[in-house]
Homo-oligomer: A and B are copies of this chain.
Amino acid sequence: MNYFSSDFKLGILGGGQLGKMMLTETRKFDIQTYVVDPSAEAPCQFGATKFFQGSLNDYDTVINLGNQVDVLTIEIENVNLEALETLEKEGKKVYPSPKTLRLISNKGNQKDFYALNNIPTAPYKRYKTLPALKIDVENGLVELPFVWKATEGGYDGNGVKVVRQVIDLENLPETECIAETMIPFKNELAVIVARSTSGEIKTYPVVEMEFHPEANQVEYVICPARISETVANNAREIALKVSESFNHVGLLAVEMFQTADDQILVNEVAPRPHNSGHYSIEASYTSQFEQHIRAILDLPLGNTDSKVAGIMVNLVGEEGFSGQVVYENIEKIMAIDGVTPHIYGKRETRPFRKMGHVTIVNENMTEARKVAQQVKETIRVISK
């Protein structure tokens, strides 16, 4: 197949920042892209061969895009899966497969899948209804505290709550859910796995999420994770197994916990380029976005090693600011060696909206970590 400066067309469902960073790679390779997003002002409005406004949950919109392209991929999971299934049945190449997207979209099924495939994950129980869960709690069959998760519709930490007391149950929505044993963990880790249509598979190094000591929020994504080689190798092996168990094609970001006794437990997966891999644009031999394109087009996978240490800081809208965005002190952070801001292209900021990220690279991790803190303390996403 000839992809380069040819008639070949790649479809992308979703035109947000992940799509935009994919477009950097398709432009580099001169691969034609057709992109759909609900917003006319989505980050992908520039850089695609064609950009369409449309709902990703609309059956006809997805079918329509699929019919115009040779291969279809996603940058967000929340799309019309029936349409993807129809397209795949009709012979269209859809990566990741709709089957996997459907399986992943339900956290109960995702957990069952791990159990079935001997992938280590925190113990859990599934409940069709909230009252069923309450009965188990009353009877002592679920120990407090535990982690409640809605099986469907959760996004960015939504649909996840820690239940510490019986009273906490009262605030939970009436929905299918799981109760997961709360695991004391040392580290939250992630491994990105790339697997191509022909089954070539590679893992990126393990990254570590460093949390703010008080606020329960990820501050830094650090690559490589500051963990032992044994734990790192184990995490990569497990991530590999997850991707292979799904017969996944494309990128799979596997989020994991490192427990107090150095066990690795899979938390959840994202079947696409992921926030935890943004560092790769500057730090790795092959960026995660290029790797995703390589994988779904059955090109050889690129080297996943890092050239230098990388740390990523998200740029989210400051609390108390809404409206036309201003990146306060951006010129100050750009004056520091190895600092690269990525501005996603959203004109309006809102509290906690993901507006961009900053990558810090350095030969020396200690130095990179210092600079990352300086970046974090300097730049602010505010409004005019």
Contacts and interface: CB of A to CB of B under 8 A. Distances in A.
Interface of A: 2, 4-6, 20, 23-24, 27-30, 43, 46-49, 285-286, 290, 294, 299-300, 302-303, 305, 307-308, 324-327, 330-331, 334-335, 337-338, 340-347, 361, 363
A42 to B, nearest CB: 12
A250 to B, nearest CB: 17
User: A48, A285, A324, A347: which has the most chain B beta carbons within 10 Å?
Assistant: A285
A294 B27 CA distance: 22
Contact of A30 (B23, B337, B345): B345
Nearest to A304: B337
- By Cβ-Cβ distance, the 6 closest A-B pairs, closest first, are A300-B335, A30-B345, A30-B343, A303-B337, A307-B307, A47-B47
A315 to B, nearest CB: 10
A24 B20 contact: no
Contacts of A337: 285, 302-303, 305
Contact of A46 (B4, B27, B324, B343): B27
A295 to B, nearest CB: 12
A2 B29 CA distance: 31
Contacts of A331: 299-300
A343 B335 CA distance: 31
Given A285-B338, A334-B294, A326 B20 contact: no
B29 A27 contact: no
B5 A347 contact: yes
Contacts of A334: 294, 299-300, 302
A48 to B, nearest CB: 7
Nearest to A1: B331
Contact of A20 (B27, B48, B342, B346): B27
Contacts of A2: 326-327
A217 B48 CA distance: 36
A98 to B, nearest CB: 27
A30 to B, nearest CB: 4
Given A4-B330, A334-B294, A27 B30 contact: no
Contacts of A325: 4-5
A23 B285 CA distance: 21
B361 A307 contact: yes
A335 to B, nearest CB: 4
A62 B14 CA distance: 36
A305 B362 CA distance: 11
A257 B325 CA distance: 48
10 contacts: A5-B325, A5-B346, A20-B27, A24-B27, A27-B46, A28-B340, A29-B343, A46-B46, A290-B340, A302-B334
A308 to B, nearest CB: 5
Nearest to A29: B343
A198 to B, nearest CB: 11
